[in-house]
Structure 1
């Protein structure tokens, strides 16, 4: 329910991508004085920041042929942060088993990593491989924006996200 979002109240909306005022280390190890532009960011015990331009560029195939939705992504981070910070393990409902979540998401992460290393097509944007928190957020984007794709390629993750979000978006799309 919406009460899961009770612990914060601020959304900052920029017209386009925003540049955080903090150092950034690129993949080559070089530290830059500021990070590249971002489309969204969720702060632990702080605001949610979004780019309006990125919000307008969402959809099932918006990011390199993969689902993209910065609003879903950042709100998923806020849910994830409710238990032990952003780590890909949001608080479970009483009828869910945290061990099953960990096992299923870890196995899916391993499969996705292997597919990426072997240059096989990915069902999610490769940004999901950044860390477990991003994996959960990108899975959440795909769950809502391309549920048929997630159900086909990651059925166990899809099933757990149906339990977590208390809905089945694939069934909703099929009814239309």
Structure 2
């Protein structure tokens, strides 16, 4: 970004990093990680908002799409499995499933062997409409990641998977 006199202005990231190091708040390598977390958070928020807008137009939330996608890929699942696989809380899972069920996109059935267990599955309508959502999401993913080569996309995916799948430090 340039000032009115044409001079390059430091970015927020530059100012934050410099201040962290100058104030001896954290060592330089920690300041670099702060920048990494800042960028990941910014990207996560932007891509999440974009995905939400895509899926709201289709009649469900981004969370609803993720749940339907899990059910489409894995087949019927117990509600607790959906909670674990999605990383959502039990309350959030329940709220999303209530909305999807109300809209006729999923069905919940009690297990015949254990009445405490609820098996969740896509309805035919949910499966049909999900395909439109998968195509729309694939197009948005393509647009977001077009700035990276296929090899860079694979590397980023691998690195993010390593971070996401590690035990909490």
TM-score, normalisation: structure 2:
0.26
Return the structure number with greater strand share.
Answer: 1
TM-score by length of structure 1 reads 0.25
Q: Which structure carries more helix by proportion? A: 2
- If you compute each CA radius of gyration, which structure gives the higher value, 1 or 2? 2
